[in-house]
Structure 1
Amino acid sequence: MQTSRELTLVLAEDGVLLREGLASLLSRHGFTVLATASDAEGLLTAAERHRPDVLITDVRMPPGFSDEGLRAALQVRARRPGAPVLALSQYVQRTYVGELLDSDDGTGVGYLLKDRIGRLTEFFEAIRQVADGGTILDPEVVRQLLRHRRDPLRNLTLREREVLALMAEGKSNTAIGQALTIGQAAVNKHIGNIMSKLNLHPDEGHRRVLAVLTYLREG
């Protein structure tokens, strides 16, 4: 298979076998791999030097193996707005998807699970669509996003729902602890879990209010 035009790529993946195998596969199917990188710093350097048509990167990379690849990709888009990025991940991480879609105007981005790479026709087409400014999401990502949107409270435990209900009544942490006969440490832990499961992060203002609004809306 050949692409309609030869797209240039930078590939960032810490696993040497996957990185070299994928680079070879792409090269044999009409893409030009300008450079590969094994960590976030190498990704930034290669992207700045080569300015590829598409940057393909693993989400988790050295040194911390958390979200370094995604962070580096977002830096590339901040420096060069609209730079096409295709992120690869072993698992669905809704937060990562949201950050990628929120960058610039959410175009020229893609998020695929690594299992999708084996479906070559779909994978190559995803690269081309991202290069053309499209937005590509793995079907499993879409399924989980829709499920989460339908019922954002579904992952809360019974105790967490009880805590959130008392929060909705305007009770303080102390009052919640007294009502449920649990200590302050337990209350704080439950509230932290609620915020995490509702994807309300520390940099979002009024998290408590947003959590309560979600409860009232869904309840």
Structure 2
Amino acid sequence: MPRHGSLTRVTIVEDHALFAEAMELAITLQGHVVHRVDTDAEGLSQNRLLTEVLVSRPTVVLLDLQLGSSIHGMPLIRPLSQVGIAVVVVTGSVDRSGWGEALFNGARTVLPKSAPLNTILSTIRLIQEGRRVLPRDERDRLVADFHQYRAQEQDGRERLATLTAREREILAEMMDGRQVREIAQAFVVSEATVRTQVKSILSKLGVSSQLAAVGLALRGRRDAPPVRRRG
């Protein structure tokens, strides 16, 4: 148990109540001061969540990335890190590029939720002692994965931008799982016309299948989906 003069203030930002309670209990038993942010609070916004965390004056923040449908933990990492708070991401995601993004933004390390609670406790102790919690080579690999993924996303957006308005509409129909016959009926054109448009889409996107085109669209246009047919 840490000495009284070296207590660590730990703030938990986690929307899974049982998991948060388990972490809170384990960390409290180690003698740390623990605060849990209510991620279910009515009207909670990204800025309000950041304020709630800062008000708790933490030394360490245990941060989940998925905090509901409208709030994400990633934007909190940089501002917290910039004021000297050690951010430890504890996530259910296994996406290495997402882990790399968290580290790029300033997180000390990323731990899977499947990790034993002792791993979280050990990480807090290492931070408390001023020691490194993630090997530099592992951090570099994860950050490189993030940069590679971001470059692929940008390339995908640039390819999608070459599509005509009608091709974007056709692609949107494909994303909805519609077949050529259904798309032709919806646009009142021949199936041959739709097949030609699909071939053009595949060519411009540099892919060989409709499935690959949909996958690229989902990655490259995550924040701005293709224009959908009206009516």
Identity of aligned residues (%): 18
| RMSD of equivalent CA atoms | 4.2
Is the 8 Å Cα contact of residues 99 and 142 (structure 2) preserved in structure 1? no
1:14 pairs with 2:9: no
Is the 8 Å Cα contact of residues 23 and 117 (structure 2) preserved in structure 1? no
Q: Which has the larger radius of gyration?
A: 2
1:70 pairs with 2:74: yes
Supply the AA of the counterpart residue of 1:71: P
What are the ranges of 5 or more consecutive residues in structure 1 without an aligned counterpart?
A: 153-166, 174-180, 203-219
State how far apart, in whole Å, the 1-side matches of 2:65 and 2:49 are.
12
Supply the AA of the counterpart residue of 2:56: H
How many residues of Structure 1 are paired with residues of Structure 2 in the alignment?
A: 165
Give the 5 Å matches for 1:22-37.
Answer: 22-37=23-38
Is the 8 Å Cα contact of residues 56 and 86 (structure 1) preserved in structure 2? yes
Supply the AA of the counterpart residue of 2:58: P
Give the 5 Å matches for 1:43-192.
Answer: 43-64=49-70, 68-78=72-82, 80=83, 82-103=84-105, 106=106, 109-116=108-115, 118-120=116-118, 122-131=119-128, 132=130, 134-136=132-134, 145=142, 183-188=199-204, 190=207
What SS is found at the alignment partner of 1:97? Answer: helix
The one-character-per-residue Cα deviations of 1:29-71 (angstroms, maximum 9, x if unpaired) are 2221034332655641232112211011111112336xx0122
Shift of residue 192, structure 1, vs aligned partner: 7.9
In structure 2, the CA distance between the partners of 1:184 and 1:75, relative to structure 1 (3 Å rule), is farther
Shift of residue 119, structure 1, vs aligned partner: 4.5
TM-score after normalising by structure 2: 0.54
What are the ranges of 5 or more consecutive residues in structure 2 without an aligned counterpart?
A: 41-45, 149-158, 164-195, 208-212, 224-231
> Relative contact order (C-alpha < 8 Å, sep 6+): which is higher?
2
Shift of residue 14, structure 1, vs aligned partner: 0.5
TM-score after normalising by structure 1: 0.57
